[in-house]
Structure 1
C-alpha cells in the first residue's frame, strides 16, 4: 500500500524550490510531485504492482494540472492497481487528452489554483464566487473550445435579470481573463468573452443621490442610537464630516493626524497621487478622534480590525454596519455622503456673504494662507450644519407620539 502522507496544499506546492538534484514530495494515495532542478514541478503516481515497486507513472505538469485534478487521477490509477492493472497506458492517454478536450470546470480549477496564487484574498474570493455561482453551473461541463459568446451573453443576461448589472459585467470580465490564461497555455483557441462588448452588458447611470438635511440628521441619529460598536459609529460620523473617501478613512493611521492643529495629512502614496492631501478638521471631528485615541485599540491604525491591531477594518465593514441598521433611506450608499456634503457646502457658501463672491471650492483665487483659513471655515460650517440636523432629528424623535 502507498505510504501515508500529510496532504499538500497549493501554497506548500508553490513554495517548493529546486535543489541540486530532483526530489519528490508525497501528497498521499500514491500521488507525488517531483521538483526538477530547473524548478519545473511534475505530478507522478507511485505504485506497487504484484508486489514489485514500479517506475513512477507521469500524470503531468503542475502548471497544467491542478492539485484537485491530480488527486482525482491518482485515485483512478490506484483503483486500477488494486485490480492488478498497470495505469501507465491510461496515464499516457490522459496526458494526451489534457490539451484536447478539457472541460471548463477543470480549466477553471486550474486557473484558480495557479493564476490566482499571487492575488489578494478578496480578488480570489470574488473571482471564485463569479465562477461558482453563475459560470460553472451553466457551462462548467462543456469542453473549453465548445463555449460560445452566446453562452456568455446568456449568463450575463440571467445575472442582469436579478437586478445586478455590475455583477454581470464583472462575471464577463472573469471569463475573459480565464480564457486569456487558457489561450496562453494553448488550451483554448479563442476567447468567447472577448467578443461580447462590455457596453452590451451593462451601462451605468451616474449617481445623483443627495441626502436632504433631515435625512442626514435622521441617519446619524439612528446610527448613534444603534448597537453597533462605538468606533464604527464614530467612523460613519467622521465620514460625513471629513468628506473623504471611505478607504481614506478606514485605512488611516495615527501618524497622519496632528490633532493639536486639527490637521489630517493623507500621504500621496496611499492616494496614488503626486502629493499629500491636507484635510482640515472641524472641532467635532477632533473630539471624535481624541475619543478614539484615548481608547487606542491599535498603535498604528485608527480603526483596527477586531481580528488584530496590525491591520485596519475591511472596506466593507462600514457598508455592512449601515446595512444591518435597516435605515429607511431610499437608494442610499455610503459614497453618497461625499456628494451630499459637496452639494450642501456649495449652498452654504453661496448663502454666506462673508466669502466676498469667491467660490469656497476655487483654491486658485486664493493665497495658500487665505485658502487654509477659508477651508477651515468651510469644514467648520459644514460640521455645524450637520450638528443642527442631528439635534433636530433627536428632538423630533423624543416628542410624544
Structure 2
C-alpha cells in the first residue's frame, strides 16, 4: 500500500531503523534519531544500489516520488547519457571518481548517523541531541555523500571557516569537536583512517569569555531576593529562580533538576555526570531554604520527572528563556542580571566574606576532573560546603529583609 502524508506525519521513531515502503523501490527510512530520509532501492547493471533522495519534510511525498522516477529513468538509460552537459547524474552522489559504488554507511553522513545512534544508546540528553543534529547537518551539503575515508582536513576547513567568519566562534569550536568524535568512531569501525580535526584549531579560535551580568551590590541583591519571594507568576518559575539564587548552579542544571536527583532527607542534590559533561557527578548541599522551596513545589509538579517542568508541557523542563523573561518582568534588565548571574553574585559575596576558596570553586563546579586526585570522594569538602551554603542562604534572606 502506498504511503500518504497523513501516515508520515504520525510516524514516531523507535529504538531501531524502520523502513516504510511506498512502491517502485521508494521507501522512507525512519532513524532512531527521528530523522526521516527518502531512499530508493534499485539495480544498475544487475547490482543492487540504494540512492538517497533527501530528507522529509524538506522533500514531501509527491516530490520524493518525482525524484524517484528521475532516478529510475536515469538507470533505464544507462548512467543517464541524455543528461545535459554539466548536470550531475543522480547516482554520482554514491559513486567515487572511478565509478565504484559507495555504501551509504561508508559516507560521511552514514557515519554521522551511526555515531549519533550510538550516542542515543549511551543516553545523550534531549537538548544535546538537538544541538548535535544541528551541528552535523551543517556538514551534509558539502561532504555528506562523500566516502568518509576519502575526506581530509581540506574538506572540513571551509565549513568551519564559514562559521568562524560569521562570528559564530563557539559554534565552530563545537562543530570541530563533534566532527572529531565522529572521525574517532570512524576509525574504530574501520570507516576512517584517523582523526585530523586537532589540526583545525587555528580555524576555530577560542571565543572570548563573556562575564554574565550579575548583581553584587548588597542592597540590589536584597531587592532582587525580595522580588523573587513576591513573584506571582507560575510556581515553577518562582521555584526555579529561588533555587538558582540559593544554589547558584548553571541555569541548565537547575532547569533539568529531576526528583531522582534529590535526597531531601540528606539535603543533597546530585547532578549526574552526563548533565555536567564531566566524568563525575556534582554534589550540591541544599540549604534549609532550598528544601522548603522544593517541598512547596512538590504538590504542583510531582507527577513529572522534572522538578521544574514547562507550564504547558510537563514532559519538558523549564526553559532558560522563561527564567530570563521573569527577571525582566521583575524589573531586572539583561544588562544587569541574568539567571547565570547568580553565580557571579555568589562568588563575589562568598569571597568578600572570606570563605574557603576551594569550597567556593568546588561549589561552582570549576574544579577540573584532572585536578581531583584519585577517585572522586563524595564527601570532598562536603561538611564545609554545607556550612557555607547555609550561611549564604541565610545571608540572602537577611539582605532581603533589610
- TM-score, normalized by the shorter chain, greater than 0.5: yes
From the superposition, tell whether residues 56 and 297 of structure 1 become closer, same or farther in structure 2 (CA, over 3 Å): farther
Residue 258 of structure 1 is aligned with which of 261, 264, 268?
A: 264
Once residues 261 and 185 of structure 2 are traced to their aligned partners in structure 1, the CA distance between those partners, rounded to angstroms, is 42
Once residues 344 and 155 of structure 1 are traced to their aligned partners in structure 2, the CA distance between those partners, rounded to angstroms, is 42
| Aligned equivalent of 2:320 | 318
Do the aligned partners of 1:66 and 1:113 also contact (CA within 8 Å) in 2?
Answer: no
Correspondence 1:90 to 2:87 = no
Correspondence 1:58 to 2:32 = no
Residue 348 of structure 2 is aligned with which of 339, 343, 353?
A: 343
Residues 348-367 of structure 1 mapped to structure 2, 5 A cutoff: 348=353, 361=359
CA root-mean-square deviation: 5.4
From the superposition, tell whether residues 89 and 337 of structure 1 become closer, same or farther in structure 2 (CA, over 3 Å): same
Bigger Rg, which one:
1
Aligned residues: 336
From the superposition, tell whether residues 203 and 331 of structure 1 become closer, same or farther in structure 2 (CA, over 3 Å): farther
Q: TM-score, normalised by structure 2?
A: 0.59
Do the aligned partners of 2:222 and 2:401 also contact (CA within 8 Å) in 1?
Answer: yes
Once residues 33 and 90 of structure 1 are traced to their aligned partners in structure 2, the CA distance between those partners, rounded to angstroms, is 24
- Alpha-carbon deviation of 1:167? 1.9
Correspondence 1:26 to 2:21 = yes
User: After TM superposition, which residue ranges in structure 1, 4 or more long, deviate above 6 angstroms?
Assistant: 7-10, 69-74, 140-144, 178-192, 267-276
| Aligned equivalent of 2:391 | 381
Residues 133-152 of structure 1 mapped to structure 2, 5 A cutoff: 148=155, 151-152=158-159
Q: CA offsets per residue over residues 146-165 of structure 1, 9 Å max, x none?
A: 954652453133232xxx42
| Aligned equivalent of 1:396 | none
Residues 117-132 of structure 1 mapped to structure 2, 5 A cutoff: 117-118=117-118, 119=120, 120=124, 121-130=126-135
Residues 161-200 of structure 1 mapped to structure 2, 5 A cutoff: 164-176=168-180, 194-197=198-201, 200=204
From the superposition, tell whether residues 94 and 182 of structure 1 become closer, same or farther in structure 2 (CA, over 3 Å): farther
| Aligned equivalent of 1:328 | 333
Do the aligned partners of 1:255 and 1:300 also contact (CA within 8 Å) in 2?
Answer: no
* Structure 2: gaps spanning 5 or more residues: 30-38, 82-88, 363-378
- Alpha-carbon deviation of 1:25? 6.2
Once residues 53 and 116 of structure 2 are traced to their aligned partners in structure 1, the CA distance between those partners, rounded to angstroms, is 12
Q: CA offsets per residue over residues 337-360 of structure 1, 9 Å max, x none?
A: 23432331243357xxxxxxx989
Q: TM-score, normalised by structure 1?
A: 0.59
Once residues 165 and 371 of structure 1 are traced to their aligned partners in structure 2, the CA distance between those partners, rounded to angstroms, is 37
From the superposition, tell whether residues 244 and 30 of structure 1 become closer, same or farther in structure 2 (CA, over 3 Å): closer
Once residues 13 and 337 of structure 1 are traced to their aligned partners in structure 2, the CA distance between those partners, rounded to angstroms, is 40
From the superposition, tell whether residues 268 and 228 of structure 1 become closer, same or farther in structure 2 (CA, over 3 Å): same
- Alpha-carbon deviation of 1:170? 2.0
Compare 377-386 and 181-190 and name the one that shifted more.
181-190
* Structure 1: gaps spanning 5 or more residues: 17-23, 35-41, 47-54, 351-357, 393-401
